[in-house]
Amino acid sequence: MESFRSELENLDNPVIAQDILELGQKIADFKGGSLDEEKFRSLRLARGVYGQRQAGVQMIRIKIPYGKMTTKQLRRLCIVSDEYSKGRLHTTTRQCIQIHYVNLDRTPQLWAELEKDQITIREACGNAVRNVTASIDAGINPDEAFDVSPYAHNIFEFFLRQPFGQELGRKFKISVSGAENDNAFSFMHDVGLIAKVKDGVKGFKVMVGGGLGAQPKMAECAYEFIPANEVIPFIESCVRLFDRYGERSNRAKARLKYLLADWGIEGLKEKLDEMRLSLTNQKFEMTEDVPRAYSGPNLNYKVAPKTTIEDKEAYDIWYKTNVKDQKQDGFKSVYIRLTSGDFFTNEARVLADLVDDYAGDDIRIGINQGLQLRYVKAESLAYIYSVLKSINMVKPGFDSTMDVTSCPGTTTCNLGISDSTFAAKEMEKFMAIKHPDLVFNNEIKIKISGCMNSCGQHSLAQIGFHGSTIRVKSTKKVMPALQVLLGGGAVKDGLGRISDKIIKIPSKRALFGLDIILKEYQSNKKENESFNDYYDRTGKIHFYELLKPLADLSEVKNEEFVDWGSSDAFIKAIGTGECAGVVIDLVATLLMDVEEKIMLSKEALDQGLYPDSIHHSYSSMVNGAKALLTGYGIKNNQLNKVVTNFDDIAVNSGDVKIEGSFNDLVYQIDKNMPSKEFAEKFLIDTRGFYDKLVALRKKQLESAKA
C-alpha cells in the first residue's frame, strides 16, 4: 500500500488520489470482514466496479463524457486493458468503455493508471448521476444549433462527486442533443436537453422523466426553452428532488419517471421550485472555454501514401455509408461500425496512430456503440480505408439496419436471461447475405438486449428483441427465447416512440422472424412509406399473425435448447443485478454512517464548500432517523417519508425531544441559501440531533434485551 501511495502522489488532483486510496482501504475492510457487503457494494459501484456473471472478477465501466476521447486516452485504455484484463474494449450505448474480467484487488491501481490521462470511473455505475451523453456529431453537424460539447462537459464536471448525487434511490441519466434530430435521445432520459437559440441567446429545450427499462416511458417537456445558465441549477433540483422523494425499496419504481407520473409535469415543477433556494447556484454560467471539449484540424497532417483500392465496389459502399461531410469546409468525418461494440487493443493502437497522422485528435463513441473520426481530408480517405480494413474496421452501414446494437447480455451480465451479443452478430451476418440493400437504410434500427432492462435500448427500436425463456411443455425443458418488439424509435425534437411487444419466439428462430418482418415491409410498403408508418397502418395484430407460426412448439429441435454463442444446453441463470438498479439499504450501516457524514460535513465546511457541508448534514440527519426507525420495526422506501414517520413515532411519542418538529429541523435546507453561516448552524443542529439518536439507540437496545 505504501508504494501505491507514493504512485498516487504523482496525480495532479489530491481529491482523486484520496478517492482511489479510499477504494483500496474499503476493499481491504470488506475482505477483512469489517465492512458490510451492501455498503461496500454501494461504494464500489459508485466507482465503476461492477460484479460480473462470472465469480471472482469485475467489469470496470469507464466514463467517457459525451463519448469524446483523445488518442492519448485511447492508448491509456489499451495499456489498462492489456495489464488488468484481456485486451478487449467494449463500447456502450451510454458512450462509455467497459473492460471485463478484472480482479477486485487490482481496481485501485487500474483507476490510478486511467487518471494519468484524465479518465475516471467515478459514478460510472451505481445509484448516482451517470455519464453525460451527447450527440456524436456535436461540433461538426451542419444542422446543429451550436456545439454542445463544452456544455456537456460543464454538466459532467459539475455533477462529478457532488454529495447530493452519490446515494440516490437509483441511477440518474442526462443527455445533450445539438440539433432537432435529437440523436442523443432526450426523450429517454431523466433530463434530456436539446440545443436552441432564442433571440440570440443559447439555451435548451428541457425534457424530463424519461426512461427505458422494463417499463419504458417517454419524457415530457418541462420547458421549451431555458437559457444555458439555468440548466445546471435545474438538473440539480431534479437530482435533489429524486433523492428526497424517489423510491428506495422497490427498484422497479425507483426512477424520476414515476414521480412525474404521480405528480404530473406541473406538480413536478412546483416541487422543484420548493427547493430552489437551497441550490448550489441560482444561475450557473457554463463556459465555452473548455479546451478538452473541442476538436479541430490536425496541426501536423501527413501526406497519405498513394493507395490503390482493389475492391472499388466495397470502397464505394463504405464511402457512401460511413463517410459524411462536416460543416467545416473541406473536411470529412469517418464512422466505424463495431459489431456489439467490441474491438481489441491491437486494433485500437493502429487506429490511434492513424488519427495522429490523418485526423483531428478526437475519437467519439456513439450511442449505437460505433466510433467516429473527424477532420479527415478527402485525399487521405483511400489510405485510411486501407488501414481500417487491415484491422477489420470498414464494415459498411454505420447506424444502418445492418448496424445492430446489443448489450453484453449473458456473456458477462448477471441480469442477462438469454444471449444478445452473438444473436446480434448472427443477425448482421444474415442480413448481409439475405438483405444486403439494408446497408443503405438509416431508418430501420435493430436493437437487442439480454433482458427486459433495455441496456441495448430495444424498446426504442423499429425492430427490437430482448432476452427471455420459454418452457416447452412436452419436454418440461426451458429454451432460450427472444421477445420481439416493433414500432419504436426517435422522431425529433424530444419526441420518440416506445416499441410494442409482439410475440416471444425461440432464440434460434430469430433470424426467420427477422426475415419475415423485413420481407413483409419491403414487399408491401407504399412508395416512400417508412417502417413505422407501415407498422401503424397494418397494426400489431398483423405482425403477430405473421410471426405466430414461429412460436409453435409442437415440434422443437435439440439445437433450439442451445443459445447463440454456446455449445451447452441452455440453463436459465440470473444473478443479482447491480448496475440496473439494486437499491442499497443504508440502514445496514446505522449510526456509523451518520458519524461519517458528520465528519464529511465538517471537512467541507473547513474547505469553504458550504453547499456540500449542508447536504452532508441533511443526509446524516435523514439517514440517522431512517436507521433508528428500524428499532420501531418501521421501514421506509422514500426519504421524505422518513421525516414524517420519525415525527409521528419518535418525536410525538417523546422518545426524542427536539424544539419543534423533525420536519422543521431537516427542511431548514429549503429555506436558506447555502451560506457559511447556515452551514455552521446546520452542522451544530446535526451534531445535537446525532447525540439524541445515540441516546435513542441505547434505549432501543435496552428494550430489546428486556
Task: Extract the C-alpha cell encoding 472.
Answer: 416447452
Q: Say yes or no: do domains 298-390 and 586-705 share a fold.
A: no
At 265, list the grid cell.
409535469
CB-based contact 125:98 (threshold 8 Å):
no
Q: Take residue 433 and report the three cell numbers written for it.
A: 447475405
List, for residues 351-386, the tens digit of each pLDDT value.
999 999 999 999 999 999 999 999 999 999 999 999
What is the architecture, at CATH level 2, of domain 405-561? 2-Layer Sandwich (3.30)
Cell 445496514, located at residue? 588
- No. of H helices and E strands in the chain? 20, 22
Phi first, then psi: what are they for 391, rounded to 5°? -115, 20
The residues that bridge with 485 in the sheet, in sequence order, are 464, 501
DSSP state of 65: G
Q: Three-state SS for 372?
A: strand
Distances (CA, A) of 518 to 129, 509, 549: 39, 15, 16
Question: pLDDT tens digits, residue range 269-310?
Answer: 999 999 999 999 999 999 999 999 999 999 999 999 999 999
* Best CA proximity match to 20, nearest among 42, 39, 48: 48
DSSP letters, 198-263, are ETTEEEEEEEES-B-TTS-B--EEEEEEEEGGGHHHHHHHHHHHHHHHS-SS-GGG-SHHHHHHHH
Could you tell me which residues are beta bridge partners of residue 176? 134, 193
Which residue has cell 415543477?
A: 269
The CATH architecture to which 298-390 belongs is Alpha-Beta Complex (3.90)
Evaluate whether 240 touches 611 at the Cβ level (below 8 Å). Answer: no
In the prediction, which pLDDT does 11 show? Answer: 77
Q: Of 199, 194, 110, give the one whose Cα is nearest residue 152.
A: 194
State the CB neighbour count (10 A cutoff) for residue 166: 19
Distance (Å, whole) CA 65 – CA 50:
19
CATH domain 1-125 topology: Alpha-Beta Plaits (3.30.70)
Tell me phi and psi for residue 604, to 5 degrees.
-65, -40
The dihedral built from the CA positions of residue 118, 119, 123 and 129, taken in this order, carries a sign that is positive
- Burial of residue 210 (CB within 10 Å: 0-12, 13-18, 19+) is buried
Q: Measure the CA angle with vertex 121, ends 179 and 24; round to 5°.
A: 170
pLDDT of residue 586: 37
Which residues lie closer than 8 Å to 499 by C-beta, 6 or more apart? 458, 459, 460, 461, 462, 464, 485, 486, 487, 488, 489
pLDDT of residue 576: 52
Q: Give the span between the Cα atoms of 126 and 48, in whole angstroms.
A: 8
Query: Where do the structural domains in the chain lie, given as residue ranges?
Result: 1-125, 127-294, 298-390, 405-561, 586-705
Alpha-carbon distance 611 to 353, whole Å? 45
- For the purposes of burial, counting CB atoms within 10 Å of the CB of 32, is it exposed (0-12), middle (13-18) or buried (19 or more)? exposed
* Contacts of residue 411, Cβ cutoff 8 Å, sequence gap at least 6: 53, 419, 421, 422, 565
Query: With a cut of 70, which residues of the chain have pLDDT below it?
Result: 1-7, 573-590, 704-706
Return the residue matching grid coordinates 451480465.
413
- pLDDT digit string (tens) for 414-444? 889 999 999 999 999 999 999 999 999 999 9
Q: Are 489 and 462 in contact (CB under 8 A)?
A: yes
The residue among 86, 15, 87, 95 whose CA lies nearest residue 61 is: 95
pLDDT digits (tens, 9 = 90+) for 639-667: 999 999 999 999 999 999 999 999 999 99
**Residue 595 identity:** E
Its sign, for the CA torsion 388, 391, 397, 400, is negative
Q: Rounded to an integer, what distance in angstroms lies between the CA atom of residue 165 and that of residue 650? A: 28
Give the per-residue pLDDT at 580: 41
Residue 354: helix, strand or coil by DSSP?
helix
Mean pLDDT of all residues in the chain? 93
Q: Hey, what's the cell of 630?
A: 428500524
pLDDT of residue 583: 36
**H or E stretch at 193:** strand 191-198
Which class is 586-705 in CATH? mainly alpha
Per residue in 672-703, is it b (16+ CB within 10 Å) or e — as a string? bebeeebbeebbebbeebbebbeebbeeeeee
Alpha-carbon gap, residue 437 to 518, rounded angstroms: 11
Sign of CA dihedral 679, 685, 688, 690: negative
Rg of the chain in Å (alpha carbons): 26
Q: Which fold is adopted by the domain 127-294?
A: Sulfite Reductase Hemoprotein; domain 1 (3.30.413)
Q: Are strands 477-486 and 463-472 parallel, antiparallel or unpaired?
A: antiparallel
pTM of the model: 0.93
Taking the C-alpha atoms of residue 469 and residue 478, their distance in angstroms, rounded to an integer, is 6
Could you tell me the three cell numbers for 40?
461496500
> Interior CA angle at 162 toward 161 and 166, to 5°?
80
Residue 196: partners with Cβ closer than 8 Å, 6 or more residues away: 145, 202, 203, 204, 205, 224, 225
Among 193, 189, 194, which Cα is nearest to 179's?
194
Which stretches within 576-675 are classed as H helix? 590-606, 610-629, 639-646, 662-666
Q: Which of 451, 136, 150, 88 is nearest to 291 (CA)?
A: 150
